[in-house]
Amino acid sequence: MPLIDVVPQSIDYRFFIHQKGLFLFKKIRHMEETYESNNRTARVAASLFFFLCIPLSIWGQMYVGGKIFVAQDPVATASNLLSNEFIFRASIICHLADTMFFVAMALLFYRVFKQVDNALARLMIIPILAQIPCVLIMELLNFTALMILKSDARQGFDIAQQQEGAYFLMRMHRYGAGIGIGKLFFGLYLIPFGMLVLRSGFTPRIIGVLLIIGGISYVADCCMSILMQRADYLMVRSFVMYTSIGYILALLWFLVKGVQDRKPIVNPL
């Protein structure tokens, strides 16, 4: 009876080594493609902020607002508004476009940071989306102020009262609820954004710390504007405004350098 060879043949490990090397290569290739995609996305988001959001905000809110609104003078404010009606209407469209570009920028950053912490990235988006209806309401107040001044004087509602009403609505937008709500939502956006920047390692850690401090300061600024008298509030407001430097530094970093590449160290086979 012939003997059966039960001695196992030697296993060729080269196949497994090849498969492991191929898997590591694909993984590194995927990480490199993800990095390049995040790098482009971060640069586009920062470009939206510097080349669209800032110019639109400066012209629509600072230049036009300063040209039309005169503090403590409803008559002069009404006269400026009627004589610069077209640019005032354009500033409303400008502010709405500015808001939409800012939302687009935040959504692009969500794409970058969702791999770091998806829950925290979603939390970052919520204040920005909640700001949209508030901006629409504030600009509706501006448009209502214009319509009040352009309508004919009615019985029991003379021209002086029309000017006072328009001035009150514009003051709410410029110094009151409009600015306060904007600071609150921006601060609530900066806090998770700073935490994501800090955790990701895409920028130096100090930038993430400054972002968190800036977010807390904006929320505190909104609370102080409600709790304190205006004269006392103006004494501490200058400190709060300097804390926004962290956001400028972060977006400058993303614009110039993109996100830092954190390639894994792979042991050679």
At 74-123, the pLDDT tens digits run 999 999 999 999 999 999 999 999 999 999 999 999 999 998 999 999 99
User: Which sequence spans correspond to the domains of the chain?
Assistant: 17-256
As beta bridge partners, residue 154 has: 157
As beta bridge partners, residue 157 has: 154
Joined tokens for residue 152:
């004919």
pTM: 0.81
One-letter amino acid at 140 equals L
Pick from 54, 166, 49: nearest CA to 106: 49
In contact, 106 and 128? CB cutoff 8 Å:
yes
The string of pLDDT tens digits covering residues 199-209 is 998 999 999 99
Joined tokens for residue 24:
């590591």
> pLDDT under 50 in the chain at which residues?
1, 4, 6-7, 10-11, 13, 15-16, 22-33, 263-269
Q: What is the pLDDT of residue 225?
A: 77
In contact, 200 and 261? CB cutoff 8 Å:
no
Number of H helices, E strands in the chain: 11, 0
DSSP string, 49-70: IIIIIHHHHIIIIIIHHHHH--
In contact, 160 and 177? CB cutoff 8 Å:
no
User: What is the Cα gyration radius of the chain?
Assistant: 28
Q: What is the pLDDT of residue 228?
A: 75
